[in-house]
Structure 1
Amino acid sequence: MKKTNNIKSAIKSTGITATVILLGACAGSQVTAPDKRATTLPVAPIITQVSSNPTPEVKQAVSLTLEQIMSDPDWLGRQPQNPKFSPSSQSIVYERKRDDSVVKDWFVTSADGGNGEKAPLADLHKFTYDEYIDDKDMPFVAWTFEGNVFAKVRGSDSIVQYTRDTYPVSNIAYLNNDAISFQVGNSFYSVNVSSGILTQLVTWVFDDEPKAVEMPDDYIMREQLKLIQYENVQRKNREDRFSQKQALARGNASIMSSKVFLDKTHETVLASLSPDGKWVILATRKAEERRDDTDIMPDYIEENGRIAAKPVRQRVADAKPESHQIYLIDVDSHDLSKVSYTTLPGYNDDVLADVKRENAERNGETYTDNRLPRDIGLLFDWYATEAPIKWHDSSEQVALMLEAWDNKDRWIVTLDPNSKQLSMQHRMHDSAWVNYRYNQFGWFEDSLTLFLLSEESGYSQLYTKPINGELRQITEGKFVVDDVYLSKNDNYFYYKANKKHPGIYEIYRTHADTGETQALTDLNGMTDFEMSPDESQLLLTHSKLSMPPELYSVSLHSEAPLTAKKITSTVSDAFLSIDWTLPSIIAMPSSHVDAPIFARLYTPKDVDAQKRRAVVFNHGAGYLQNAHMGWSNYFREFMFHSLLVSKGYVVLDMDYRASAGYGRDWRTAIYRHMGKAEIEDNIDGVNWLVENANVDPNRVGTYGGSYGGFLTFMALFTEPDLYQAGAALRPVSDWAHYNTPYTANILNTPSVDPIAYERSSPIYFAEGLKKPLLINAPMVDNNVFFVDVVRLVQRMIELEKENFETAIYPVEPHGFVQPSSWLDEYRRIYKLFEENL
């Protein structure tokens, strides 16, 4: 399917070695691997970087202070966001934040156009879109902008607008060869691109199907019909009129036929119309019940001076299993067919039997296995980037991606509308949980063949699967494949991967038949791409350790070596004027697994002068990668770490187990016990600093936010001698109060697996606190609720703990917004370290 859219080590050698990569490392640089053998990164020198916008002359110098670091990030420059090609492929567009405003503007540029110009509001529909479709076999392209449909005939500069309505359209697709289909609410429509005629194709409602007459259902009604002939005549008249109306709708193509009626307790999850307009795949679920009255968040600072009780998400402890019902609707006849899951291998496996048995035995009970059907639905969760229903262009087959609510299985199935039965194409089972990333799949253009990503080898890799053939692996190795684009001629897969190094992402293309692979970039950082609609260019978003993201372009029609041309230059003079401390990317040996722990290491230049203080930073999100060679989402922390180094600290920022980018086993090491493997890695990290970076083990602190705050709790509570102080920011203290999509993957649910929650939640270990603890808590956090801090503080009061303090931030959400809050928070963190390390 088509996308719409000079190495120096400042580390004292004491016999333990680590891979070290500094910003500026080039292809072929010698590094030392964790097994102490020298190796050369296999980097093909394919890309040469040419700047069409030289770095501007620095006119403004600033000092590295907390006030500067935590000020409004506009001072860094306002970097490109959401870049894409215009529908014509002639222009590149991107969003850029206005200075001192939350508003973003669209900018239009080209491969040679620099930062470009702000797009006129009157012409925005020509340059950007919400959804975009482009099939090589169709004579036109189409897109939506602000909920309306536009199209352009290939080779023409004329753009035609087909809808202008307050009801936004979505889910656009090609319909036959001359029309566009789209969804509005619970209806599909089509518009003919030549005539402009708008047609409602099918609509569905969740209600009882109307009847001409009601059957007698009580004594009074039955007697009335026996005794009063008039009522029988009126009854027959209603039946005749109802039958005539139905016959007219069936017999006259100019009239919209009747609605499709479904269970009135259900609601739409997702719907998809076949390219020939004959079939609809519809997924429904039980309508969401009214949330509990306690699912609210008090907001104490409101414009009117009152307290607002804002509704928030449900807790995982209150989660109920959810299933989706799949229907196939015949658009012409309105026949409704329910699709069964019983052909899915493992549809009724008791996959949590061992977990349930362990919990039952703890309670002195006996668990008996059951084979009841599992709750199954479309893989359409909080992280999904693509629709889990995909029709082949021929309309002969539709592919669906399904998942079990218990998170242990993902199925890719196909359905022939004529057979109305699911055919298994691929099953991925994981005894821990199926990754919510790396679930891309789609069809080849000209054959009934699927492509898909799977972690079954241990890493996200690319596969193909003819519907009547065998699964074939296209990429192979200990690296992650993501963001796949299949060329319109079915010849090449384009994707990003961290082949060279876990922290370096480049763009590659692999021939679908031969498997021959070519690296298209060699930029040594973090790189994402967008393919132009005419497949002539790649639009790159590239960043380095100390350089925020900028846009680059690569012409795919140029002769090798390909050239990446820099387009934008948006980084500020102020940012460029600072001599940043560039971290090394190191690979520390692990004492627990046969794999290195990758980390960013910040060291003072005179690291050997005296025993140093150190800070260990734990990133948030759990499943996130931060020890990479690109610009981090934790840019404030990057700057703070540079400041700490200037004060003589060593800083370690590690990708502990559970971080992204290192394969399935690294990801699932925390299954049913969050905070164990990660703290083991913290111990290894501190030991490595002591042995290799001249760090005093009695002068080490830690901090982190969100998941990093949770890890601060777990470190100070369960390994109280590891750190001398810690700061927990917006922290989780009890996983039973967190959300379902993330938490239930790792810990199952509290009703099924309370053991996992009790050994993973810091509130159960608060008695272990010995060292100073700072807790910083935003009060309008709808991600990690403020109650997590409230309950833990009360617990520590009852435990008579005296060595903690709490700072609250009344107007802040999970990700702070106000510079004054950022500054206050990091002043407190810095003070904590200065006083205790």
Structure 2
Amino acid sequence: MRRLLLAGLIAFTVLPAAAETAQSAPKLDLETIMANPDWMGQAVETPYWSVDGRTLYYRLKRDGSPVRDLYRVDPASGGGAKLDATATAQAEGPAVYDRAHRYAAYIFHGDVFLVDVSNGHRTQVTRSPLPESSPRFSADGRSLQFRESNNWYVYDLASGVTSPAAVLKFTDDPQDKKPDALGQQQLDLFKSLREDKADKDALHANDQQLVAADSTRAPQPFYLGDKTQLVDTELSPDGRWMLVVTQPAHHDDGKAPDVIHFVTDTGYTDTEAARTYVGRNDPAPQSVLLLDLSAHKSYPLGTDNLPGIKDDPLKAIRAKTVAALQKAGKDDEAKALKAPDVRPVTLYSMDSGSAGIVWSDDGRNAAVEFLAIDNKDRWIATVDFAHHALVPQHRLHNDAWINWIFNDVGWLKDNCTLWFLSEESGYSQLYVKPVDGAAKALTSGKFEVSQPQLSNDGKWFYVLANKLAPYSYDVYRVPSNGGELGRITQYGGMDQFTLSPDDKQLAVLHSSAYVLPQLAVQSAEGGTPRELTHTMKPGFTAHQWIEPKFVEVPSSHGAGVIYAKYYGPTDETDASASRPAVLFVHGAGYLQDVKQAATYYQHEQLFNNLLVQEGYVVLDMDYRASEGYGSAWRTAIYRQMGHPELEDLLDGKAWLVKNHGVDAKRVGIYGGSYGGFMTEMALLRAPGEFAAGAAQRPPSDWVTYNDSYTSDILNNPQIDPEAYKISSPITYADNLRDPLLINHGLIDDNVLASDSIRLYQRFVELHKKNFWISLYPLERHEFEHADAWYDEYRRIYELFETWVKPATAR
């Protein structure tokens, strides 16, 4: 059951009625906690304001279905409801506005709508089978721009006419084709052929003159040649320019491995191509063209002047590998590792999926964000339209790798000052930089700033930050011209926020350990929030769940402290008693699980509760490489994945032994994805330290993972083979001494099941004992079926009960 309660009725802790029944709540069991997660409740998703700013929309997953229903709520009264199909048809999407705030536009069900703000009159601009996106008003407010895939269109508000902003053809211009020797001979010989050609040329010239003089005609195409293919386009708000991102047309992406489906609805096995292995061809380099739509000319924007782009940050590693290859007589392979004269780049991919290009509101400035393919540099450049060139504005270098996040960039309302996030201080902070001036930090400190939103009046930046503690996130704001960073929300578990159109209110999604994201609204200046939703189920909230304790584990390896969540019994007066323990290891590597907000690992958190019920204690650590602790913490694993993290996990085990009466010989470990990788590394690189381990969907050999993640951390395997060797569990297979359970979905297209199967075969050939593999034919990387969740965790529980819990097991 899902319900929307009136504001003011909800406290996001256990409700009084639930507290009364908590003492009589039945014991936890695997069938319950591994059931379809709908029994817990639903997370509020994608909130946004109505055009007039008086109501909020959001979505909720429907019980027993992947369908997301649309809801509407009045922030003032808290009243709201789920919209039926008829009401949904009249709903709005997230709106953008013109400068005068006379018009708004939004995308709904993939089409573009225009609203007259003064009277609410709505005009449907498109009704097409392909989805439109990115609505934006022109700088002069006379037209509405939007895109369909990479094609931009302009809707004239006065006439109601829609036209393409530009027509791009990736072929050569037929008019530029010159006859070869034989063709010229034909023209020389035959008068009729010469007359035909003259007629075609005259028609083309006439068309060109008519188009130039007649604005009612569609624009003439840009012929951009057949050597490149389109990646992205970005139209300037003034309609004068277009930036076009391209890559080589025939780039070889490398051979993709197949994922095999054994259980299908046809009864026949099926295959699908997965992603290419790292190092089996570098990502395609990208280039940028500047199109002058008025003069109908194009100009390449070279990157040769970006600072450091001709350096080789891998010079020392490259030289060592080349020397080894030459010594082995592999001269051809050595030559293939020669450094490029100019390092290839790609454009940063923004959250919208478009390339890293941002226009100022007036269209007179554009920022372009490049990443080196070797992952060591990020550049922000602006475009000099007069000289058709890039102007470097900021370089961020990291000897390890540039972060996947904290790369937001934009413009202040003055249209000539950039703002951006940068980790150059060691932590993600917010900066501003005039195009012709020096950069200035708006925020500073040993905390992370993310999700910057500039207020509509341009006076404030609202950001998400963990300033009070690494695990505590709230919304803060800072003046855009500099000043104090002030805290706006007081939740500690903040997930997302969006500013109202009039800059006066914040709609926020917040959560806590056992409460999925819920919607509230409060003043943009701070104050008491009004809670708008409560979507957790009574059967879930009635249980007396263990509130994880935030603890600091001392590092014995000079890393300071490792933040962790501890799950244990309420009464720990007998902490000296010998007890079993389990370490849960979060996935993704770069992910933060020690937070006040709801965990991504809901099933695992409930399993941790069950383990405590059965006599264990559990520790969940943000080991080195985790998000939220600065770039040095993130990059500690550079070229040595699984090494600093294992040091931290062993420190966590020692902390449990010292502080919570844990038997050092009765500690288990489990995790999924990167957590599964670390489980394998723990058992194979520290045999005897853990009584048993369960690895879910683990990467066992990084040479078979993808490029976009792995080459950042370990470089290219051809250049840096040693980093891959020491970072892969399969290298240490001969060290297996302790019981290991591997669970893997057979149709996992992220970490392929072949990773686990290859490691399993190594164990077979090495005559190892006490290792098992369980394969799930209908599961991908994230399990979706309750039966599979149950079976997976039944096996993990039985592993721990057999090898970890008994005092005589070792």
Work out whether the TM-score is over 0.5.
Answer: yes
Residues 667 and 125 of structure 1: is their aligned pair in 2 closer, same or farther, counting only changes over 3 Å?
A: farther
- 2:279 is paired with a residue of what secondary structure? helix
Alignment of 1:410-809 (within 5 A): 410-556=378-524, 562-604=527-569, 605-606=571-572, 607-608=574-575, 610-809=577-776
Residues 455 and 385 of structure 1: is their aligned pair in 2 closer, same or farther, counting only changes over 3 Å?
A: farther
1:200 to 161, 164, 171: 164
CA offset at residue 56 of structure 1?
Answer: 7.5
Q: Which residue of 2 aligns with 1:379?
A: 348
Residues 422 and 126 of structure 1: is their aligned pair in 2 closer, same or farther, counting only changes over 3 Å?
A: farther
Alignment of 1:224-373 (within 5 A): 224-287=186-249, 294-363=256-325, 365=327, 370=339, 372-373=341-342
Residues 403 and 397 of structure 1: is their aligned pair in 2 closer, same or farther, counting only changes over 3 Å?
A: same
- 1:470 is paired with a residue of what secondary structure? coil
**Mean alpha-carbon deviation: is it higher for 529-538 or for 562-571?**
529-538
CA contact (8 A) 2:99 2:141 kept: no
Question: Residues 443-486 of structure 1: CA distance to partner in whole angstroms, max 9, x if unpaired?
Answer: 01124111110000000001110111111011111000000011
CA distance in 2, matches of 1:807, 1:687: 31
CA distance in 1, matches of 2:412, 2:83: 36
CA contact (8 A) 1:208 1:263 kept: yes
CA contact (8 A) 1:136 1:488 kept: no
2:72 to 96, 99, 108: 108
CA offset at residue 57 of structure 1?
Answer: 3.7
**Mean alpha-carbon deviation: is it higher for 544-553 or for 791-800?**
544-553
**Mean alpha-carbon deviation: is it higher for 704-713 or for 185-194?**
185-194
CA distance in 1, matches of 2:245, 2:128: 26
CA distance in 2, matches of 1:786, 1:761: 15
- 1:238 is paired with a residue of what secondary structure? helix
Q: Which amino acid aligns with 1:296?
A: D
CA offset at residue 121 of structure 1?
Answer: 2.7
CA distance in 2, matches of 1:345, 1:384: 28
CA distance in 1, matches of 2:734, 2:544: 43
- 1:568 is paired with a residue of what secondary structure? coil
CA distance in 1, matches of 2:89, 2:486: 36
Q: Which residue of 2 aligns with 1:150?
A: 113
CA contact (8 A) 2:448 2:465 kept: yes
CA contact (8 A) 2:429 2:448 kept: yes
CA offset at residue 404 of structure 1?
Answer: 0.6
Question: Residues 732-756 of structure 1: CA distance to partner in whole angstroms, max 9, x if unpaired?
Answer: 0111111111111101111221111
CA distance in 2, matches of 1:321, 1:98: 39
Residues 125 and 592 of structure 1: is their aligned pair in 2 closer, same or farther, counting only changes over 3 Å?
A: farther
CA distance in 2, matches of 1:256, 1:732: 52
Q: Which residue of 1 aligns with 2:10?
A: 53
CA distance in 2, matches of 1:364, 1:692: 54
CA offset at residue 370 of structure 1?
Answer: 4.7
TM-score, normalised on structure 2? 0.93
Q: Which amino acid aligns with 1:480?
A: E
Question: Residues 530-555 of structure 1: CA distance to partner in whole angstroms, max 9, x if unpaired?
Answer: 11122221111111123222111102
User: Percent of pairs identical after alignment?
Assistant: 37
Alignment of 1:151-230 (within 5 A): 151-175=114-138, 176-211=140-175, 215-219=178-182, 221-230=183-192
CA distance in 2, matches of 1:57, 1:195: 61
- 1:202 is paired with a residue of what secondary structure? coil
CA offset at residue 186 of structure 1?
Answer: 4.5
CA contact (8 A) 2:364 2:415 kept: no
Question: Residues 611-650 of structure 1: CA distance to partner in whole angstroms, max 9, x if unpaired?
Answer: 0100011100100000111210101111111111111101
Residues 292 and 324 of structure 1: is their aligned pair in 2 closer, same or farther, counting only changes over 3 Å?
A: closer
Question: Residues 338-368 of structure 1: CA distance to partner in whole angstroms, max 9, x if unpaired?
Answer: 1111121011111111121232344455999
Residues 182 and 77 of structure 1: is their aligned pair in 2 closer, same or farther, counting only changes over 3 Å?
A: same
Question: Residues 115-138 of structure 1: CA distance to partner in whole angstroms, max 9, x if unpaired?
Answer: 731123344365443x64234444
**Mean alpha-carbon deviation: is it higher for 72-81 or for 809-818?**
72-81
- 2:611 is paired with a residue of what secondary structure? helix
CA contact (8 A) 2:102 2:118 kept: no
CA offset at residue 796 of structure 1?
Answer: 1.0
2:38 to 52, 74, 78: 74
Residues 570 and 222 of structure 1: is their aligned pair in 2 closer, same or farther, counting only changes over 3 Å?
A: closer
1:390 to 352, 358, 363: 358
Q: Which residue of 2 aligns with 1:30?
A: none
2:791 maps to 1:827? no
**Mean alpha-carbon deviation: is it higher for 231-240 or for 569-578?**
231-240
CA offset at residue 384 of structure 1?
Answer: 6.9
CA contact (8 A) 2:150 2:232 kept: no
Q: Which amino acid aligns with 1:833?
A: F
Question: Residues 148-169 of structure 1: CA distance to partner in whole angstroms, max 9, x if unpaired?
Answer: 1112123322121111111322
- 1:254 is paired with a residue of what secondary structure? coil
Q: Which residue of 2 aligns with 1:25?
A: none
CA offset at residue 179 of structure 1?
Answer: 0.7
CA distance in 2, matches of 1:722, 1:683: 8
Question: Residues 714-746 of structure 1: CA distance to partner in whole angstroms, max 9, x if unpaired?
Answer: 111110021010000011011111111111110
CA offset at residue 521 of structure 1?
Answer: 1.1
Residues 486 and 226 of structure 1: is their aligned pair in 2 closer, same or farther, counting only changes over 3 Å?
A: closer
Residues 802 and 549 of structure 1: is their aligned pair in 2 closer, same or farther, counting only changes over 3 Å?
A: same
TM-score, normalised on structure 1? 0.90
CA distance in 2, matches of 1:260, 1:828: 61
RMSD in angstroms over aligned alpha carbons? 2.2
Residues 453 and 226 of structure 1: is their aligned pair in 2 closer, same or farther, counting only changes over 3 Å?
A: closer
CA offset at residue 312 of structure 1?
Answer: 1.5
CA distance in 1, matches of 2:150, 2:568: 59
CA contact (8 A) 1:507 1:527 kept: no
Question: Residues 744-790 of structure 1: CA distance to partner in whole angstroms, max 9, x if unpaired?
Answer: 11011112211111111111110010000000011010110011011
Q: Which residue of 1 aligns with 2:53?
A: 89
Q: Which amino acid aligns with 1:379?
A: Y
- 2:174 is paired with a residue of what secondary structure? coil
CA offset at residue 180 of structure 1?
Answer: 0.5
Gaps of 5+ in 2: 1-6, 328-333, 805-810
Higher RCO (CA < 8 A, seq sep 6+): 1
Residues 119 and 670 of structure 1: is their aligned pair in 2 closer, same or farther, counting only changes over 3 Å?
A: same
CA contact (8 A) 1:112 1:567 kept: no
- 1:670 is paired with a residue of what secondary structure? coil
Q: Which amino acid aligns with 1:487?
A: S
- 2:636 is paired with a residue of what secondary structure? helix
CA contact (8 A) 2:505 2:521 kept: yes
Q: Which amino acid aligns with 1:550?
A: Q
Q: Which amino acid aligns with 1:814?
A: H
CA distance in 2, matches of 1:568, 1:114: 8
CA contact (8 A) 1:386 1:440 kept: no
